[in-house]
Amino acid sequence: MAIDFELTAEQKKLKYHIREFAREVVKPCTEKGDRETDPQKSFTAMKPAFVEAYKMGLPISFLPKKYGGGGVSNVDFMIAAEELCAVDPGFPTIVLVNGLALMPLTWFGSEKQREKWIGQATSNKTHDYLAGWVVSERGGTANFDHPSPNAGIQVVADYDKANGEYILNGEKHWPCNAGGWDLKGADTNLCIVRTDRTKGGKEGLSAILVDRGTPGITYEVIDKIGHRTCQNVTMTFKNARVPEENLFAKGNGDMLINRNFTWSGPVASIAAVGVARGAYEFALNWAKTFTGGGTSPIINFQAVGNLLAEIAAKIEAGRYMCWKGAHYMDKHDSEGQALGGMNKTFCGDLMQSVVFDCMRVVGVNAIDKKFPMERFYRESLVFPLYDAGNLAMQRRKIWGVMADNAFTVDKFVDGDAFPFKKSMEGYGVVSEPA
Q: Does an H or E element contain 144, and which? A: none
**Range 131-251 has CATH code 2.40.110.10:** yes
Residue 195 DSSP one-character state: S
Model confidence, pTM: 0.95
209-247 pLDDT per residue, tens: 999 999 999 999 999 999 999 999 999 999 999 999 999
The arithmetic mean of pLDDT across residues 416-434, rounded, is 84
Average pLDDT score over residue span 146-166: 96
Residue 4: the pLDDT is 85
Domain with CATH 1.10.540.10 in the chain: 9-122
Which fold does the domain 9-122 belong to in CATH?
Answer: Butyryl-Coa Dehydrogenase, subunit A; domain 1 (1.10.540)
Give the relative orientation of helices 337-362 and 302-331 as an angle to the nearest 10 degrees: 160
- pLDDT of residue 419 exceeding 80, the answer is yes
Range(s) for CATH 2.40.110.10 in the chain? 131-251
The CATH code of the domain at 254-424 is: 1.20.140.10
- Nearest 5°: the CA angle 51, 57, 60 is 100
Whether 129 shows a pLDDT value over 90: the answer reads yes
Q: What is the pLDDT of residue 434?
A: 44
How many angstroms separate the CA atoms of 242 and 248, rounded? 12
Q: List C-alpha distances in Å: 127 to 47, 82, 187.
A: 10, 23, 12
Q: Could you read off the pLDDT of 86-96 as tens digits, one per residue?
A: 999 999 999 99
Instruction: Write the CB contacts of 184 (distance below 8 Å, at least 6 apart in sequence).
Output: 212, 213, 219
* CB neighbour list of residue 224: distance below 8 Å, 6 or more residues apart: 39, 232, 382
What pLDDT does residue 78 have? 95
β pairing state of 188-194 and 165-176: unpaired
Chain centroid to Cα 247, Å, comes to 23
What average pLDDT does the structure give for the chain?
Answer: 95
> Are residues 381 and 226 in contact, defined by beta-carbon separation less than 8 angstroms?
yes
